[in-house]
């Protein structure tokens, strides 16, 4: 029952986080205008550029190696280097964004820009890393505690600043950052407490795989892939803002973000639970064992996230009625569809990326991401002129699907993994009743009231939970999980090709 208990603890924590985030969406769309929501998106997108380029690859490498460093007794030394790297990245990002402010077109004072970009790159990522590392070390309760306190404190401070000083994007983002400052100390203290308690547990010789050349072989391709993925999934905000204006951008991003956030949060819940298991299985493992570990991962995750994605995409008007302010509801209700399906596709992409993580080979990501970016941005340039909401949504989803199809072929050559077709087929079957119900209700109730929306989502949500439980029970209630995709004694042929 250990796995089930861990999952229930994480599920309870993540569900509370989803509630906090949905409440936050309702509040921010009530306090900020569509134009300010557009500025909010632009500022976050600018910071996300540097996070994609400098942080994502390095942080994933640390997460991948953390348990191995714990075995070697080198965690504190390597984490200290990473914290210094985060700080320098924040400084470099602030300088670069200040120089390129005019070219990017961010309407904000230079001082605010420096403070926000540095903080989003350094403070936000450091706080998130401490929480994530606690989860990797199986300190589930501490992970949930620090994550939830971050959201609550950020929300409260943001409301205070916006109401007291100015209803602008920079004051809202500033409140989010201030809410994380004190949590860094808490997360750091808890993390180092766990590490110091295990100092005498060294059971493996110190390896030489943390050399700079090994790190760069992993990080540089991933950083390049993350940069291209940023271009595919976030840079459209600059383009759409210039083509259609900040108000249109604000309307679109509220609906798209609402749909994508719900699917992403489920993916985060699953990865928080399963990644420590996956990393334990691939630590010092042979390619055959890594393939079996990924097969089990995919068989558990793909059906679950597909069901959530189809549920959210079908219930857009009901979700928007509850969780965004009235002025955003009509457009957000239709854009939720594109956000949820795009996030579903990106979740499958992230799962296939774990094949490269297992092998510490990330070069195979770059070409699929480039092709997806060409499709997405080319589509937006053409279709957004026709309809900025439908055209942008179609383009982003098409780009993600292009990346997924090509990436599947590349990753299957890197490790002999299997697409869980039978499990995916069952998830589609399970999703049909709730999708049909929501589509029919959308036709019958063109403009649902708040209580009609609450009742509809409550009933369909109960079915969703039941379906998720039925699909998860085979692996969730096992104390020691045997990879579902591999029968005992069956050999897996390893090619190692990229």
Residue 303 has pLDDT above 80, yes or no: yes
Phi-psi sector, 418: left (phi>0), alpha (psi -120 to 50), beta: beta
Here the contacts of 185-188 (C-beta below 8 Å, separation 24 or greater) are 186/146, 186/149, 187/127, 187/130, 187/131, 187/134, 187/146, 188/130
Q: Computed over its alpha carbons, how large is the radius of gyration of the chain?
A: 22
Look at 205 and 373; give whichever has higher pLDDT. 373
Residue 159 has pLDDT above 90, yes or no: yes
How confident is the model over 380-420, as pLDDT tens digits? 999 988 899 999 999 999 999 999 998 888 877 777 778 88
Look at 483 and 381; give whichever has higher pLDDT. 381
CA distance 454 to 475: 32
| Residue 38, token pair as written in the block | 């557009």
The answer to whether the predicted template modeling score (pTM) of the entire model surpasses 0.95 is: no
CA distance 150 to 157: 11
Q: What is the dihedral of CA 251, 253, 259, 263, to 10 degrees?
A: -170
User: What is the predicted pLDDT for the residue at 7?
Assistant: 66
Best CA proximity match to 241, nearest among 249, 253, 231, 252? 249
At residue 152 the predicted structure's pLDDT band, cuts being 50, 70 and 90, is: very high
CA distance 274 to 478: 13
Residue 260 has pLDDT above 50, yes or no: yes
Average pLDDT (296-316) is 89
At residue 280 the predicted structure's pLDDT band, cuts being 50, 70 and 90, is: confident
CA distance 46 to 43: 5
At residue 488 the predicted structure's pLDDT band, cuts being 50, 70 and 90, is: very low
Average pLDDT (70-78) is 83
Mean pLDDT of the chain: 82
At residue 478 the predicted structure's pLDDT band, cuts being 50, 70 and 90, is: low
At residue 312 the predicted structure's pLDDT band, cuts being 50, 70 and 90, is: very high
**CA atoms lying within 13 Å on the CB side of residue 126:** 28
Contact (CB, 8 A) for 249 and 280: no
| Residue 378, token pair as written in the block | 């080319």
Measured in whole angstroms, the distance separating CA 259 from the mean position of its chain's CA atoms is: 13
Helices 326-359 and 212-233 cross at an angle (nearest 10°) of: 150
At residue 202 the predicted structure's pLDDT band, cuts being 50, 70 and 90, is: low
User: What is the predicted pLDDT for the residue at 309?
Assistant: 92
At residue 46 the predicted structure's pLDDT band, cuts being 50, 70 and 90, is: confident
Contact (CB, 8 A) for 145 and 159: no
Let me know if 471 is exposed, middle or buried by CB neighbors in 10 A (0-12, 13-18, 19+).
Answer: buried
> Which has the minimum average pLDDT: 55-64, 212-221, 340-349?
212-221
| Residue 472, token pair as written in the block | 């998860």
Residue 487 has pLDDT above 60, yes or no: no
Among residues of the chain, what percentage have pLDDT more than 70? 87
Average pLDDT (53-59) is 83
Average pLDDT (206-235) is 72
Residue 495 has pLDDT above 60, yes or no: no
Contact (CB, 8 A) for 399 and 376: yes
Best CA proximity match to 485, nearest among 404, 411, 416, 414? 416
**484: how many CB neighbours lie within 10 A of its CB?**
18
User: What is the predicted pLDDT for the residue at 219?
Assistant: 75
Residue 148 has pLDDT above 50, yes or no: yes
Contact (CB, 8 A) for 325 and 242: no
Query: For residue 356, which phi and psi values (nearest 5 degrees)?
Result: -65, -35
User: What is the predicted pLDDT for the residue at 171?
Assistant: 93
Residue 23 has pLDDT above 50, yes or no: yes
Among residues of the chain, what percentage have pLDDT more than 90? 23
Residue 464 has pLDDT above 80, yes or no: yes
Residue 136 has pLDDT above 50, yes or no: yes
User: What is the predicted pLDDT for the residue at 375?
Assistant: 94
């Amino acid at each position: 029952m250990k796995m089930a208990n861990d999952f229930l603890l994480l599920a309870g924590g993540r569900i509370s986080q989803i509630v906090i985030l949905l409440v936050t969406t309702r509040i921010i769309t009530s306090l900020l205008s569509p134009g300010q929501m557009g500025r909010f998106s632009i500022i976050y997108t600018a910071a996300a550029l540097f996070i994609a380029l400098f942080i994502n690859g390095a942080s994933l490498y640390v997460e991948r190696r953390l348990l191995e460093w714990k075995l070697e007794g080198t965690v504190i030394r390597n984490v200290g280097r990473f914290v210094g790297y985060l700080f320098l990245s924040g400084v470099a990002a602030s300088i670069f964004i200040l120089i390129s402010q005019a070219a990017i077109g961010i309407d904000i004072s230079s001082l605010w820009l420096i403070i926000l970009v540095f903080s989003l790159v350094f403070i936000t990522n450091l706080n998130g890393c401490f929480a994530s590392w606690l989860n990797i070390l199986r300190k589930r309760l501490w992970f949930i505690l620090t994550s939830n306190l971050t959201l609550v404190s950020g929300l409260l401070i943001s409301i205070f600043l916006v109401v007291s000083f100015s209803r602008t994007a920079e004051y809202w983002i500033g409140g989010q950052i201030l809410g994380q400052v004190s949590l860094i100390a808490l997360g750091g203290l808890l993390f180092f407490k766990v590490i110091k308690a295990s100092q005498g547990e060294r059971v493996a010789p110190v390896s030489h795989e943390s050399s700079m050349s090994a790190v760069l072989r992993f990080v540089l391709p991933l950083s390049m892939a993350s940069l291209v993925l940023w271009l595919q999934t976030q840079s459209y905000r600059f383009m759409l803002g210039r083509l259609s204006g900040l108000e249109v951008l604000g309307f679109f991003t509220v609906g798209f973000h609402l749909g994508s956030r719900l699917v992403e949060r489920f993916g985060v819940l699953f990865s928080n639970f399963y990644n420590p298991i996956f990393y334990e299985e691939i630590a010092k493992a042979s390619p055959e064992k890594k393939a079996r570990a990924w097969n089990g991962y995919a068989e558990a995750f793909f059906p679950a996230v597909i069901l959530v994605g189809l549920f959210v995409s079908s219930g857009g008007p009901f979700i928007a009625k509850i969780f965004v302010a009235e002025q955003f509801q009509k457009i957000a209700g239709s854009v939720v569809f594109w956000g949820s399906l795009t996030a579903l596709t990106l979740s499958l992409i992230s799962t296939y990326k774990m094949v490269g993580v297992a092998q510490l080979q990330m070069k195979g990501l770059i070409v699929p991401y480039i092709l997806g970016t060409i499709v997405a941005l080319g589509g937006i340039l053409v279709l957004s002129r026709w309809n900025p909401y439908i055209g942008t949504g179609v383009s982003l989803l098409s780009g993600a699907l292009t990346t997924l199809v090509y990436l599947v072929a590349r990753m299957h050559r890197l490790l002999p993994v299997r697409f869980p077709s039978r499990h995916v087929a069952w998830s589609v079957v399970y999703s049909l009743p709730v999708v049909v119900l929501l589509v029919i209700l959308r036709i019958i109730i063109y403009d649902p009231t708040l209580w009609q929306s609450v009742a509809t989502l409550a009933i369909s949500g109960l079915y969703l939970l039941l379906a998720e439980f039925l699909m998860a029970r085979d692996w969730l209630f096992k104390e020691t999980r045997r990879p579902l995709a591999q029968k005992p004694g069956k050999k897996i042929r390893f090619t190692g090709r990229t």
